[in-house]
C-alpha cells in the first residue's frame, strides 16, 4: 500500500494548497486574530491589541444587529421559497410533457445570469412607476402601490424575490436529479394498492427525496447567509439601514476604514454559517439512509 503511494507524490498537491492557503485560509486566520485588534486603514501594518473591544462594539451597534437579523430573515425566506417552488417545478417537469426540456431550460436560465442583471431588472419592476405597481393598478389594487425599494419595510423582501427568481430553477434541477433516481416500481405497486397521487407524493416521493432536500436546504441557507450581490445592487442596504445585510454592512464599514471592526463582523458571519449549516445538515440528514 505504502509503496503504491510513491506513484502519487504529495508535491503535486502543493500548488493548489499554496494558492488556496495564501489567498483564502490565511485571510480567514488573519481575520480571527485581527478582530481582537484596533486595526484601521491608516495603521495597516501596526494593529494594536484591544481584546474583545471590537466584539463589544459590534454587539452594541444596533445596525450590526439589524444586519444580522436581516441576513437571517433573507436566508430563511429565500431558502423556504426556493425549496417549495423548486420542488413543485421538479415534480411537474418530471412528467412526460412535450415541452418539458424547453421548459426546464427556461426555468434554469436565471441561474446563469449575473446578479447585476437580475438585481437591476427587479429594481425596475419594483420602482414607483414599475411593472409591479402597474399590475396592482391593473387588478384594482392601486391603493397598495408604494415605492417598494424606497420603503424600509419592503426593500429587503424585494431582494428576496430577485434571489428566489434566480435560484428556484437550480433547486428544481437538483430535485429532478433526485426524482429520477426513484424507481418507478414503488409507484406501480402503490397504484395497484389504490394510493392516490397525493398519497404517493407524501408516502413515496418525499421520503425518497430526502437526500436532495438536504442538499438543497444546505446550499440555499449557505447562499442566503452569504448574500451580498442582490442587496448591494437593488437597495445598497437602504433606505437608511433598513435592508442592510452582514456583507453589505461589512462593505460599508470597510469603506470607513475600520478594518478590525469589519473583521470582527466577518468572523461572526463565518461562525454563524458554520453553526447554521451544520444544524441544517444534521436536521435534514436525519433519517436519510
Site residues for another protein, window 21-80 (CB under 8 A)?
22-28, 30-31, 34, 44-45
Regarding 157 and contact with another protein (CB under 8 A), the answer is no
Among 110, 148, 159, 160, binds another protein (CB under 8 A): 110
CA distance 42 to 174: 48
Q: ∠ at Cα 120 (256, 277), nearest 5°? A: 65
Among 48, 52, 65, 112, binds another protein (CB under 8 A): 112
Q: Which residues pair with 201 in a beta bridge?
A: none
Regarding 1 and contact with another protein (CB under 8 A), the answer is yes
Give yes or no for a contact between 192 and 237, defined as CB atoms under 8 angstroms apart.
no
Among 62, 95, 143, 287, binds another protein (CB under 8 A): 95
Of residues 177-206, those binding another protein (CB under 8 A):
177-178
Residue from 198, 159, 168, 205 nearest 85 by CA: 168
Regarding 144 and contact with another protein (CB under 8 A), the answer is no
Among 49, 124, 142, 207, binds another protein (CB under 8 A): 124
Among 57, 63, 201, 254, binds another protein (CB under 8 A): 254
Regarding 125 and contact with another protein (CB under 8 A), the answer is yes
Interface segment toward another protein; rule CB under 8 A; list 50-58, 92-100, 139-147, 237-245: 92-100
CA distance 178 to 128: 41
Regarding 236 and contact with another protein (CB under 8 A), the answer is no
Q: Which long-range contacts (CB under 8 A, 24 or more apart) does 212-216 make?
A: 212/174, 212/175, 212/177, 212/178, 212/179, 213/83, 213/87, 213/178, 213/284, 214/281, 214/284, 214/285, 214/288, 215/174, 216/82, 216/83, 216/86, 216/171, 216/174, 216/175
Interface segment toward another protein; rule CB under 8 A; list 51-59, 75-83, 186-194, 222-230: 222-230
Regarding 289 and contact with another protein (CB under 8 A), the answer is no
Cβ 100 to another protein, closest distance in Å? 8
Give the DSSP per-residue string, 16-66.
HHHHHIIIIIHHHHHHHHHTTEE--GGGTT--EE-TTHHHHHHHT-HHHHH
Among 43, 57, 77, 127, binds another protein (CB under 8 A): 127
Cβ 276 to another protein, closest distance in Å? 10
CA distance 255 to 268: 19
Interface segment toward another protein; rule CB under 8 A; list 55-63, 73-81, 150-158, 244-252: 244-252
Cβ 138 to another protein, closest distance in Å? 11
Q: What sign does the CA torsion over 241, 247, 248, 249 have? A: positive
Among 274, 279, 282, 288, binds another protein (CB under 8 A): 274
Amino acid at each position: 500500500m505504502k509503496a503504491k503511494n510513491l506513484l502519487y507524490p504529495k508535491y503535486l498537491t502543493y500548488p493548489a494548497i499554496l494558492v488556496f492557503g495564501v489567498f483564502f485560509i490565511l485571510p480567514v486566520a488573519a481575520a480571527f486574530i485581527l478582530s481582537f485588534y484596533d486595526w484601521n486603514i491608516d495603521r495597516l501594518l501596526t494593529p494594536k491589541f484591544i481584546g474583545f473591544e471590537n466584539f463589544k462594539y459590534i454587539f452594541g451597534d444596533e445596525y450590526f444587529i439589524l444586519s444580522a437579523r436581516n441576513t437571517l430573515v433573507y436566508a430563511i425566506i429565500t431558502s423556504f421559497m426556493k425549496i417549495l417552488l423548486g420542488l413543485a417545478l421538479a415534480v411537474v417537469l418530471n412528467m412526460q410533457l412535450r415541452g418539458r426540456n424547453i421548459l426546464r431550460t427556461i426555468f434554469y436560465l436565471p441561474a446563469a445570469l449575473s446578479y447585476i442583471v437580475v438585481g437591476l431588472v427587479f429594481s425596475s419592476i419594483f420602482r414607483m412607476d414599475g411593472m409591479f405597481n402597474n399590475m396592482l393598478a391593473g387588478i384594482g389594487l392601486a391603493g397598495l402601490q408604494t415605492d417598494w425599494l424606497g420603503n424600509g419595510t419592503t426593500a429587503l423582501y424585494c431582494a428576496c424575490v430577485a434571489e428566489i427568481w434566480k435560484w428556484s430553477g437550480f433547486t428544481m434541477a437538483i430535485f429532478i436529479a433526485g426524482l429520477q433516481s426513484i424507481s418507478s416500481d414503488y409507484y406501480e405497486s402503490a397504484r395497484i394498492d389504490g394510493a392516490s397521487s397525493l398519497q404517493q407524493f407524501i408516502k413515496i416521493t418525499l421520503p425518497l427525496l430526502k437526500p436532495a432536500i438536504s442538499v438543497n436546504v444546505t446550499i440555499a441557507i449557505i447562499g442566503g447567509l452569504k448574500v451580498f450581490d442582490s442587496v448591494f445592487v437593488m437597495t445598497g442596504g437602504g433606505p437608511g439601514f433598513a435592508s442592510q445585510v452582514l456583507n453589505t454592512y461589512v462593505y460599508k464599514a470597510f469603506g470607513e476604514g475600520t478594518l478590525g471592526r469589519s473583521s470582527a463582523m466577518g468572523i461572526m458571519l463565518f461562525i454563524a454559517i458554520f453553526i447554521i449549516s451544520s444544524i441544517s445538515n444534521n436536521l435534514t440528514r436525519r433519517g436519510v439512509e
